[in-house]
Structure formats: C-alpha cells, structure tokens
Amino acid sequence: MARYIFITGGVVSSLGKGLMAASLAALLQARGFRVRIRKFDPYLNVDPGTMSPYQHGEVYVTDDGAETDLDLGHYERFTGVSARQSDNVTQGRVYQTIIQRERRGDYLGATVQVIPHVTDEIKAFALADSDDLDFVLCEIGGTVGDIESLPFMEAIRQLHNDLGRNRSIFVHVTLVPYIAAAGELKTKPTQHSVRELTSLGIQPDILLCRCEHPLPESERRKIALFCNVRPEAVIPALDASSIYAVPTQYHAEGLDDEVLRAFGIENAPAPRLDRWHDIMDRQQNPEGEVTIGVVGKYVGLPDAYKSLYEALTHGGFANRVKVNIKWLDAELFEEEGADIAARLEPMHGILVPGGFGVRGSEGKIASVKFARERNVPFFGICLGMQMACIEGARNTAGIANASTTEFGETSEPVVGLITEWMSKEGLQKRTAETDLGGTMRLGAYPAKLTGNSVVAGIYDATDISERHRHRYEVNAGYREPLEKGGLIFSGMSPDGTLPEIVERPDHPWFVGVQFHPELKSKPFDPHPLFASFIEAAVKQSRLV
C-alpha cells in the first residue's frame, strides 16, 4: 500500500511547493519507487478552467480532459507520470459533490458538516487510485493559517492517524528571510509557522527552508530545537539556477534521505540521477542561442504560458541551444503606425500561442503574415493555428472577410463553434448557450496525419494523440481554397471532420496545430514539434 507525503507551506505563498513536490517525487522515482503527486486547492472554483490566466496562470489539461492547476504540469514534466482528473481537487469540487449528494437525499437526514463530511471527501480523494504506488505526494495549496485551507489540514491530520506513523509524513516548506540591515537570516517566521501547524495537530517531520543565503549550522540547530525536528531534517533550499537543478540540489541537501528515514525505509537504492545531470549539462553548456517571439495576450504574466515556456526550453535542450523568449503583446501590433517588421525581424522563430477572445487578434494575424512572407519559422498553437488559417484565407485565398465566430458574427466563418464531436463518452453536442465551465473539447484526442506531410516526418508517425482545449474549430469547408493558397490540412480527426494540423510545405517551417503539444513535453523527452521548431530557428539564426 502507498505511503503518503503531505506537503504544506508556511510564512508566504509562492515558495515553490509544487516544484518541491515534483522534485521530491523525481528523486524517489530515481530510486525506483512508483510515485504520483496530487494537489488540493482550497479555493471555491470547481476547477481553474474559468479562471483568468492573469489570476491563476495557465490551466493545465490532462489526458482525461481535466482542467487543472499548473502545478500538475510540473509534476508531469518532472516525473513523466501523466496527470489525471483524480490528481487535482478543489474545495469547490468537494462541496459540489457533497451538495449534490445532499440534494439526492444520500445523507439520510443527517446534518451535513465540515467534519466529518467535507474531511471524509478530501480523505477519499487522497486515498483513491493508489494501490499500485509506493508514494503519493499530496500538496496542499495556500499557506498555513488560511481560513480556507482548514478542512484540508484537518483531513491530513486525520489521515496521518488513520494510516499510521510509518505510512505518512509531513513536509513543511517555509521561508527563512535574510534581513539585510542586520546581515542575518531570521528563523522566527518559520518558528511561528510551525507553531500554527502544530496548533492544528500537525507536527512536521521535515522542514524545507527556502533561503537566499546559505543557512548556517547554528540557525539549522535553532530551527530544529524550536520546531521539534531533527537538525538533519531541517533542509536548506537555496534558490536554484534553474528549476531543473532543483532535484539534484535537494538530493545534495539530503531531502530524499530524510524522507526515507522518516518512513523507516533502510537500504533503498541510491537515486540514478543521470537524466538530471544530462539536462543540466544541456542547459549550462549551450552551443548557441536563438530568439523566439511569442505573440500573445497574457504576456505580462509568464505563468500564463508556463508549459509553453518549458516546452520551448526543452526544444533548446534537444538542439543544445539556449532559447531566449521575447513575450510580445499582440495588441501593440495593432496600434497606428506600429512597426511590426522592426519588432519581429530580430526573431528566429515566431509563435502564436493559445488564447481566447478578439483582443490582440489582428496583431496575431499580422505576425502570421510577417512569418509567412519573410520565411521565418512559424508555430501556431490552438488559437494560433486558427489565426494562421484566417491569415491564409484573407491573404492567400482571397477571402477578405475571413474570421472566427468567436469574435462575433461573420459572413466567412473560417473558424466556427464546434457543435458536435465524438469523444470516448459518445457524441458531444454544444450550442452557443452552453455553460462555460468544463464544456470545451478537452483532453486527449487522436489525429491522423497525411503520410508524406512535414508533420508526419517530425513525429515519425501518422497516428498521434494530443491534448485539446478549445471551443472553436477550423471549418473543413474552407479546406479547398486554403490548400490552393498553400496551407495544407495535414492532420485531421480520425473521422476526417476536424482539422487538427495545417502546414505550408513551401515554407522553411510553418505549422499550426489545434492542440497543445506543450503540455506533453518533458525536459528529458522534448516534444518533437518543439525540437523541430527550434531546429528550424537555429537554421534561421544562421541566415540572419
């Protein structure tokens, strides 16, 4: 039966608990253990699907079609284990489930309460689907002391009792700030945070102390003494040069050893870290660099494009180059007299990412035109593919009014609402009135690629499966004029109705995909489309 590692955070948010969980899981996996990571989010949204990327960062989509927290992206990138719907639960979903049950009368007249009903539901979520695992890591979102995370704290406290001491441990991530005026690291916030945690009945086994300066042995002992943990279990976690350096850094500080010790596991094999050393070697010793311009809407908050950023970096690993990403606000391209060429000429590749709504769309379409005309490698993802089709329709197929119904009524709906598609659950139907939450075409769907196409060469396959998150689709009825204009439909849904990939074979590299390949890229297994796009950008960099 699986052992459980509960991960909480204290002092401040944004300490990188998700990365910590992902790195610890990677270290345990490197020792041969089977791992899975779960995230508990205390907010009341049922899932992050309807939340603004500005507020919450990217929505990470799983194979089974769940819209989840972006930390699940880290989990998957670091362990290679595909995340599932059952790996992310929000308080909103917990309450939704309970209230639906209450309305059905399932509680047989009982008063429905936070303890035990909400806590039981959280416990059931933590325990589900874990038979074939050695470790389940559960990350609790938020910071200790938040009102909304209390039911989760209570649930993991109970679970620790239910499971027994050698089946579960608590890791608490805290901050040890450096006060420049005093020239000292301060342990008091950590002491307070642990006191808060113990007042909830949770005694941490391991403290992971985020700090900007090395933690002196004296401070380590002080934290140990006040927080009732062994000095060796106070793990300093200095800021790392790259997120991919974190697993080896935590290993050097003894994190995985302490975790195994806390469980009483002796003689575990040493971790095989070659994969992480290779990634670091590629990152630290690049043989060149390229600059990619990402023309999008949420460019002020890089977390909004988290997986995209990582996938481009992985494409760099594959080619042993550093990828510089320039986030370009599409709206600026729409201003009177905007010199688009001047902004895009320094780019070795142009990428238009996924997005929603009309804002900035003309700027995106203008970037596609620039890339097409100037033979600059172009990658369009989801909305980016749709923009490439509209650009192709307007400028190479003579359909001047080409648009998408997402932006309002149009006489030439080159992109329109998907009203019907086949999923594993059967025929899906949607109308313009359908709810916004959880109703897009979501998750993994297969596609068939044309045998001699550019993309079939890149994938080295004609049957692929990729993750989707869209409500609109390119209208296959426009295939003929678009193909006459050089934009070839080289990937379709297996029934031939939904365009999945378009490409321009007469261009150095021009590919648009309806899905999100960035979600499946791993540092140790870069996605072929990103590896190929960066390869094309390297060629471009030699030309300019």
Q: How far is the CB of 31 from ligand GLN (least distance, A)?
A: 37
Lookup result for tokens 């009368």? 105
Catalytic residue (choose from 74, 507, 516, 527): 516
Please say whether the beta carbons of 541 and 319 come within 8 A.
no
Amino acid at 373: E
Please state, in angstroms and rounded to a whole number, the distance separating the CA atoms of residues 220 and 234. Answer: 6
Q: Which is closer to ligand GLN, CB of 316 or CB of 384?
A: 384
Compute the least distance from the CB of residue 306 to ligand GLN, in Å.
14
Q: How far is the CB of 406 from ligand GLN (least distance, A)?
A: 5
Name the packing angle between helices 217-227 and 188-199 (round to 10°): 20
- Name the residues that contact ligand GLN, by CB under 6 A: 354-356, 382-383, 406, 469-472
| 56 included as an active-site residue | no
For 116, which DSSP code?
I
Known binding residue 296? Answer is no
Tell me: is residue 147 an annotated ligand-binding position: yes
Q: Which of 458, 333, 376, 476 is nearest to 418 (CA)?
A: 476
d(CA 478, CA 494): 18
Residues counted in the chain: 544
| Rounded least distance, CB 469 to ligand GLN, Å | 5
Which residue, 471 or 479, is less far from ligand GLN as judged by CB?
471
Q: How far is the CB of 61 from ligand GLN (least distance, A)?
A: 9
CA distances from 503 to 437, 450, 507 (A): 31, 11, 9
Pick the closer one to ligand GLN by CB: 354 or 491. Answer: 354
Q: Is 520 annotated as a binding residue?
A: no
Report CA 108 to chain centroid distance, whole Å. 41
Is the CB of 229 or the CB of 387 nearer to ligand GLN? 387
As a dihedral over the C-alpha atoms of residue 518, residue 520, residue 522, residue 524, rounded to 10 degrees, the angle is: -130
90 Cβ contact list (under 8 Å, min separation 6): 40, 41, 42, 43, 44, 45, 46, 47, 48
Any binding-site annotation on 350? no
Residue 20 vs 382, nearer CB to ligand GLN: 382
* Structure-token pair, residue 142: 């938020």
Interacting residues of 492 by C-beta distance below 8 A, sequence separation 6+: 447, 448, 476, 498, 499, 500
- In the complex, the smallest distance separating the C-beta of residue 382 from ligand GLN, rounded to whole angstroms, is 3
- 297 marked ligand binding residue: no
Give me the residues paired with residue 355 across strands.
none
Tokens of 382: 């989801």
Between 406 and 535, name the residue whose CB sits nearer to ligand GLN: 406
- Asked if residue 13 belongs to a known ligand binding site, the reply is yes
Q: What is the DSSP string of 103-121?
A: HHTTTTTPPP-IIIIIHHH
Q: Is 146 annotated as a binding residue?
A: yes
Q: Exactly one of 382, 389, 391, 466 is catalytic; name it.
A: 382
DSSP strand E in 279-401: where? 289-296, 322-329, 349-352, 378-381
C-beta of 6 vs 478, nearer to ligand GLN: 478
Say if residue 145 carries a ligand binding annotation: no
Active site residue 382: yes
Least distance (Å) between residue 323 CB and ligand GLN: 21
Query: And the tokens for 295?
Result: 């023309």
Q: Which is nearer to ligand GLN, 74 or 469 (CB)?
A: 469
What's the maximum distance between 2 C-alpha atoms anywhere in the chain?
Answer: 75
Q: Binding site annotation covers 386?
A: yes
Catalytic site residue from 310, 518, 527, 535: 518
Amino acid at 239: D
Provide the residue type at 7 as one letter: I
Closest to ligand GLN by CB, 384 vs 485, is 384
Q: Report whether 318 belongs to an annotated binding site.
A: no
Cα angle: 122, vertex 124, 125; to 5 degrees: 65
| DSSP structure class, residue 419 | -
Helix, strand, or coil (residue 427) = strand
Q: Rounded to an integer, what is the distance from CA 118 to the centroid of its chain? A: 27
Cβ at position 19, least distance to ligand GLN in Å:
25
| Shortest distance in whole angstroms from residue 413 CB to ligand GLN | 13
Q: How far is CA 142 from CA 376, 387, 420, 431, in A?
A: 43, 37, 39, 36
54 is in an annotated binding site: yes
Residue 227 is a catalytic residue: no
Q: How far apart are CA 147 and CA 324, in angstroms?
A: 41
Catalytic residue numbers, as ranges: 382, 516, 518
Q: Which residues sit in the known binding site?
A: 13-19, 54, 71, 139, 146-148, 186-191, 222, 240, 355, 383-386, 406, 471
Q: Which residues sit in the known binding site for CTP?
A: 13, 146-148, 186-191, 222
Q: Which residues sit in the known binding site for L-glutamine?
A: 54, 355, 383-386, 406, 471
Q: Which residues sit in the known binding site for ATP?
A: 14-19, 71, 240
